Structure 1
Amino acid sequence: MLTKRQQLVKEGIQEVFNNDRINIVHLSGPPGIGKTFLVKKYLDEIINSYEDWKGYHIEGNKGDIDAYSTIIHSETSNRINENTGTNFNLGFSIPLVFSVGLTSAFKRKEIFDSKIDFFLRQLRKSSESNIVIVADSYEYWDKHSKSFIEAIISRKHLLKSKNIRLVIITNEEDRAKVTDISFKNFITSGKHYKLIAPEINELTEIISLLGYKLSLSRSELDTIMSLSGANIDFINMVVDGLYNDQQAKLYPDEKGFSINEILENRLRIFGNKEKDVNDILKASSVIDGDFNTDEVSYLCDEKYETEDLLSQSCTYLLLKKGNQFAFSNTLIQSFFYDKATETQSKFHYKYYKYLKQNRSESYSLRALHLSSANKEKIY
């Protein structure tokens, strides 16, 4: 379910896209307040309620620095998007994409880069005429993948009869700074919505939607707001921590109580598996964005029941799972990265080796991890 504020924004997006003159929505707002969640709800509704519609959700990660890495992560090439039944990365074959543009010196000149032409042709082949593309965390997209979005906007005639709608999601409000899309294009075909962080008078509604039946005083709501920073992921964790983990006795008296203490207490829930979970999450913290079981197993020398422990970490809100695993919040990732101070270099180096073996095209990302590993000049 959506909060009233999220529902209003979702309805606004729907109204905009019902108007054929506007086909771009820019949705901005702080991290963790439900931007992606409400857009996925919109995708679910149109895909399940209407024929002749297709939706794609493509999310940028901080590690997306190689050309086209946002669109064609190899580890997501065969994963299915839970919302649309379509491939998470637009369904493009990795080997096929990397062979595009390499076949002949005597071919007709493309309007765009060979791979962008290829992506546009794949969209034209779609049997559906209405297509929604959600460009999530757009500030983290690599510049080549961004040129795909620019091509859709500036060369709509190349898509012939397709009616393309774009939802661009960013954590920043300044669209000129984070979207790389011309101001002229936004003025003529774009609409901006800003989702703001929930206020304290909305906390009761949010806590109820999260599944808790609690009667809270104003001081308790103030405490939850202070600890969570109004981030919905953390509101969930704070409420779960304070009330289900019997931590309520801590917060009225201890001024130093912090989210780190909640996280430390959350680790203790794992009992005799606490050290194992701690180790795999410290290893995972060196990976920006999504990660999979194979990656984490490689970093930990396959010593643990990785899949099971990662799944349990989702149950206890440390991770979330879509097509792959990810930390519920960047602050949680930072918490485990800081705990890995003595092993950061080792994990960065092992991840460099994993990329070299399994994602040979990721030159820049490999260089980044090798550089992070070599701060002490040991490699």
Structure 2
Amino acid sequence: MEPVYQSPIRGRGAQSAGVPQRFGLAERSEDGDWRDHMELLANAEGGPPVKLRTTVTEEHPKSILTFNQSPDVPFDRSINAYRGCEHGCVYCFARPTHAYHDLSPGLDFETKLFAKPGAAAMLRETLSRRKYVPKPIAMGTNTDPYQPIEDRYRITREVLEVCLDTRHPVTITTKSDRVLEDLDLLVELAGRRLVAVSISVTTLDPALSGILEPRAAAPAKRLAALRKLVEAGVPAHCFVSPVIPAITDEFMESIVTEAAALKVDAIGWIPLRLPHEVAPLFREWLGVHFPDRAGKVMSIVRSIRGGRDNDPDFFTRFRPKGVWADLFRARFNLACKRAGIGGGIGRNRFELDCTAFRKPAQDGQMRLL
């Protein structure tokens, strides 16, 4: 996919539609946000650009828990309350999922969102099944459960209320300080060893964050959220993620130092992943914002991914190889050692309680605490 313009779209991560060819969408010039993008191009010289608006469609799936058998992830079930994410992180590995809706992984992913307002009710139904066996539910594994539209829908909060009522363990991954709006529930869950929260910090430079993840919380707000979680007794984990060579890797040591000073329970790092349409979208972003080092960035990415833009294989997708990968790993481990954090996430797994689970209360029936 060749870049179609050179001026950045302010407030958005993707710089074009990023129409996937895997599903034939490249032939549909009027599909998804492509028309909006053409209007933006038409107005590029004659006046202010067209502002891309965010829309939300409510959907009502038949189930809310997604199960997986991936051997290299620490959970086997997850809930994603939303499809698409307004945070607009250009590197988001979840972008290709929008193609299944005949929408683009580019601008559509961050402007045409889907919400599942019946998530909590479906979860109660699932947990009521006679053969259900509890294991931690992961939230935020695909799209952020605390993206801006959570303020309106409160789906994540409703799911947490179900988890508290049923004593079901849950983990949360986010890059938003909106997680603090549910601190009351998180404190109760933490008191029963039922929750752990991970917040990813990509950079400490707010200007870089503003173009890399334009609608996510500023780095300082994420660190402040980690501090408040720790002070409230909620198990908190900081991810240095993703580590982007020659763009964000310079912040690795400083993020570790900042997070360790907050007394977080664990710190981990994840290198940049560029599956499917994310690779051309990221290349385009580099061409717009960092044309001087675009070649260097992608050269290092390919060197840690076996000569490819992305390595999709189990285990190696999270453990890159090569000289650059070894350097990043050594830098991270040394930073953890100096900060006294104990060597990263591998030695600091959260242990949540699955033994206290109880079936959801029947409609109209009161709980005995």
Pair member with larger Rg: 1
Q: Using structure 1 for the length normalisation, give the TM-score.
A: 0.27
Is the helix fraction higher in 1 or 2? 1
